[in-house]
Amino acid sequence: MTDTKITLPESAIPTHFYNIAADLPTPLSPPLHPGTRQPIGPEALAPIFPMGLIEQEVSTERWIEIPSEVRDIYRLYRPTPVFRARAFEEFLDTPARIYYKSEHVSPVGSHKLNTALMQAYVNKREGVKRLSTETGAGQWGCALACASKLMGLECMVYMVRVSYDQKPYRRIMMNTYGADVVASPSTLTSAGRAILEQDPKSPGSLGIAISEAIEDAAGRDDTKYALGSVLNHVLLHQTIIGQEAKKQMELAGDYPDLLIACHGGGSNFAGLTFPFLEDKLAGRRKSLRAIAVEPAACATLTTGPREYDFGDTAETTPLMMMHTLGHRFVPAPVHAGGLRYHGSAPLVSQLLAAGMIEAEAYAQGEVFDSAVKFAQCEGTIPAPESAHAIHSVRRHALAARASGEKKVILFNLSGHGHFDLAAYESYLNGTMDLKA
């Protein structure tokens, strides 16, 4: 019988990141200058990013080495385990075999630390003293606050207002790591003040918070901007998830038929799926399905057109070719704050357009129903973001029961929900907007 917990030794921590840009059928459309709308080169990113990350952003090399200093810190929590969800399978009475990669075991409780450590390392190496960033649900903010402290950097976090209010313990966690945290939109930036003038009660959005963080970084010589998702280099750093999972599935004697992960900007989805999609792109696993799951309240991949758009509300970022709901779109204040982003990673958008991946969207009521069922079966309370993947797994496992197919399903449990208990309380006491 397959082990319930499938682990790897520290020596199995990947030595390189996998860059799917090397294997795309067609290259990405270039980013455009926000003013001229003409293609830009790497030099245009230099005011807000260190050159080491810019080089990774534009690279088409298939494998990019992970510095030994970063791999040494990864040893605090990597490799992360893969679990066989036997109790969940039994509850669903399905012939499907369900596995999940458990990224919630990191010190900050999510997958976000994988890229935070790499970004902080490169900035430190290039003499940067301070990082500014945005955060939705707070998982990214906690990760960058932790990584900044470990690398000896200062950290400034603009936290989306609705999450700032809903999730105070993540804010406290960032403060514990030494970061400064303000609710966004804030009065500290011109972008924030402009939004507050239009709507003093704005719940905020990731697009607004990005505008504030970029303005902060651009206005100080000692500061660079750090992003938790969307850009190529961020997705690149997360591919250690899927690389480890491939080895673990081999130990289990299985290979996934379905890969499932939640989708906001794309980093957690890409982290799990891209190393497996290498097999599909090479023609070795043509039937492999990879499914990105998003909230119905911010259904970027399932309803948004694929077109050039800004990554932020104030129109300061380059325009990127991506699925988007429009950079001024402010999603309903659903509890999955990390998925409330108007756009999608260009790499994910390109793969969807090429028919290499799929997308689904669900309302938060049904998502939390599946999250509670999973917690009662497997013991782990998932973050609302990860719960979207769990709901999709539940639906596909039930479909396998109906068809009698012994599908193998692997999903990414990208974060725990210990700081999201107010969301669970609203679901359990009946005050949640179930249809949002």
Q: Rounded CA gap, 326 and 297, in Å?
A: 14
Instruction: Return the SS3 of 346.
Output: helix
CA-CA distance, 154 to 176, in Å (whole number)?
A: 13
**SS3 call for 286:** coil
Give residue-wise pLDDT tens across range 20-53. Answer: 999 998 999 999 998 899 998 888 888 899 999 9
Does 334 have pLDDT greater than 80? Answer: no
Contact 105, 75 (CB under 8 A): no
Tokens of 58: 């534009």
Residue 131 bridge partners (DSSP): 155, 224
The pTM for the full model equals 0.95
- Tell me the domains of the chain and their CATH numbers: 5-12+67-109+236-428 (3.40.50.1100)
Give percent of the chain with pLDDT exceeding 70. Answer: 99
pLDDT at 41: 85
pLDDT per position as a tens digit, 189-225: 999 999 999 999 999 988 899 899 999 999 999 999 9
pLDDT at 137: 80
Are 260 and 393 spatial neighbours (Cβ–Cβ below 8 Å)?
A: yes
Q: What is the pLDDT of residue 1?
A: 62
- Chain length of the chain: 436
Asked if 344 and 263 count as a contact pair (C-beta separation under 8 A), the reply is: yes
Mean pLDDT of 229-239: 96
